[in-house]
Structure 1
Amino acid sequence: MTRLPEGIEVLFMAGLGPVTTNAKESERLYKDLLRLPLETIDGYEGYLHSQRIPGIKYFAVWPLNKVALSCFGTEEWPDTLPAPQAWLEIEVADMHSATDILEREGYTLLTRLQEEPWGQTVTRFLSPEGLIMAVTNTPDLRDSPEKE
């Protein structure tokens, strides 16, 4: 009999978006042409984000060099890993349990229970498809209702 892995309690999809290597072209598409209500963050060049798009709590165009910085502390993505094309964050009930389950199931964690300056706790890994995935605890998103 095959043993099923222990499950992770997912609360909601916390956010998603493309990973870009050409921030100007991405800005042209997502902000200028699609007119998504994207904003910038001072000191975080090329990162566009919004919590004001109906149907999603958080959307961001995340430059690959900033993904690498978040995961590895350097702006260079390692040649030994496939470069992600998109990211997906999943808000979970129990960060420690979710992180432990991912490790037990053989996923290589890029970050483990990392505390971000904006209050989010995140464990990042690559999905089999090459997405930069994360299980998260994001207090700001838990407290803000999804914009309909």
Structure 2
Amino acid sequence: MDIKFIAGFASITKDPAASASLFQDALGLPLEKMDDYRFMDNFPGAHHFGVWPLSMAAQSCFGQDEWPGDVPEPTATIEFELADTAAVEAAVEEMKGNGHTFVHEARTEPWGQTVARFMSPEGVLIGLSYAPWLHE
């Protein structure tokens, strides 16, 4: 088997309107509509795929090995890359101004990535990110 790239990612939701609002309205993705399915084709490819232990996600988000009981446990994560650190910070302020709550706001991880994370309505941990090595 010779896998070339991630062909697609879709969140699975019980509330399509709320999820579509997040991805289309708040994040500005140009989603098309086919029945109740929202999508976009030819979205630039993923630069990373991983299997992230929940304990590592908890460390990255909360600085502890256990995911807090008052925050739904994510079953997936997706990160949207922005132009630079200032763009991440501006996106956080814009989304907060529209009522979105963040798991954590923009901060620089030990590996050099600036990221802010929040949960989608269907429990996907979403990152707004700037990873300098992706822009070299």
- Place the TM-score, normalised by the shorter chain, in its bin: 0.5 to 0.7
Give the distance between the partners of 2:112 and 2:73, measured in 1 at CA.
Answer: 26
1:110 to 88, 100, 103: 103
How many residues are matched? 95
1:88-145 per-residue CA deviation (whole Å, 9 max, x = no partner) reads 00012311210101211222211211111121100011011100101011111122xx
Aligned residue number for residue 64 of structure 2: 74
The correspondence of residues 1-148 of structure 1 with structure 2, limited to 5 A, is 55-93=45-83, 94-143=87-136
- Partner SS, residue 68 of structure 1: helix
Whole-angstrom distance in 2 between the partners of 1:126 and 1:113: 14
Residue ranges of structure 2 left out of the alignment (5+ in a row): 1-24, 30-44
The runs of 5 or more residues in structure 1 that have no matched partner are: 1-5, 11-54, 144-148
Q: Distance between the aligned counterparts of 2:114 and 2:92, measured in 1?
A: 11
Distance in 2, matches of 1:116 and 1:9, equals: 25
Q: Structure 2 CA distance, aligned partners of 1:105 and 1:138?
A: 25
Moved over 3 A (4+): 6-10
Cα distance, 1:7–1:74 mapped onto 2, change above 3 Å: closer
